[in-house]
Amino acid sequence: MRKAFLSGCVALLLAAIVWAGGDPWKSKPYQQWDAKDIRKVLDASPWVRSVQVDAPWRNGDVAAGDADGGGTAAQPAPARMGQAPRTGPGGGGADAGAGPQTALATFVVRWASSRTIREAVLRNDILTAHIKEDAAEQELAHLSETYEIVVAGADMKPFQSVDEKILEHGAFLMDRKTKQKIAPSSVKIQNSEDGTKILSVLFIFRKQSDSGMSTIGADVKTVDFLSVVTNVKIEASFDITKMTDTLGRDL
């Protein structure tokens, strides 16, 4: 079931959009969410961060003057994540001749173990007839015993040359208050059906330490996620005080 859920997260990588109206995770139950509500949860909610990094592996595309502008991925179909066309520092096309351009890549980092993200993925599966409502309810009734962070993007090349064990050693969550770092207990790479492309990477963290203490305390306000892979640093900060739904804190 986790693999199916992770696939759902990947299938719903969308271009970031600023949505009007109230927050669906606070204003109505997930059973009433429509497609726009789902997209807001998955792209413009406190559980999601869009991270843009230098992409030196794509600098050849920039030099070749590829059509997607500054070496980022061209705007894909709606079911995939888009990337803003930017160039190097100071970025716009008008300054392109001022110096060498730097390719950029965008990654979406989602707190996938939260009720809200799980509800959005399962609600989408209901609307697209991939799952029945009673099955979704049963899945949601199983509370996650771990914190799960999904990293995905249109260009996952930095992850192609490493294995899951290497990724474990290059990632952590950090409680900004105590500076305590939580290493992942495991990492899972999700490949495309033909095995030729990495779709996403799932980082799994324990909710409790060996002594039974919560790894993220009730008074923690900010948690940072970091993954360093093949000299590419993906950082995302989550404001825990905003990661709440009608039931309270939602991690």
Query: What's the mean per-residue pLDDT of the chain?
Result: 81
The per-residue pLDDT for 1 is 53
- Inter-residue contact 91 to 70 (CB < 8 Å): yes
CA–centroid distance for 189 within its chain: 14
Q: Identify the weakest region by mean pLDDT among 11-20, 72-81, 99-108, 164-173.
A: 72-81
Helix (H, G, I), strand (E, B) or coil at 208: strand
Amino acid 63: pLDDT? 47
CA of 141: how far to CAs of 98, 114, 118, 203, 243, in Å?
56, 12, 11, 22, 19
Q: Tell which wins on pLDDT, 128 or 11.
A: 128
Spatial neighbors of 26 by CB under 8 A, at least 6 apart, are 245, 246
Task: Please name the amino acid found at residue 167.
Answer: L
Instruction: List the single range of 27-41, 58-72, 208-222 with lowest mean pLDDT.
Output: 58-72
How far apart CA 87 and CA 69 sit, in angstroms, is 7
pLDDT reading at 189 higher than 90: yes
Residue 146: both structure tokens together = 């771990």
Q: Which helix (H) or strand (E) holds 227?
A: strand 222-229
93 pLDDT higher than 70: no
Tell me the two tokens of residue 197: 């492309």
Is there a contact between 114 and 75 (Cβ–Cβ < 8 Å)? no
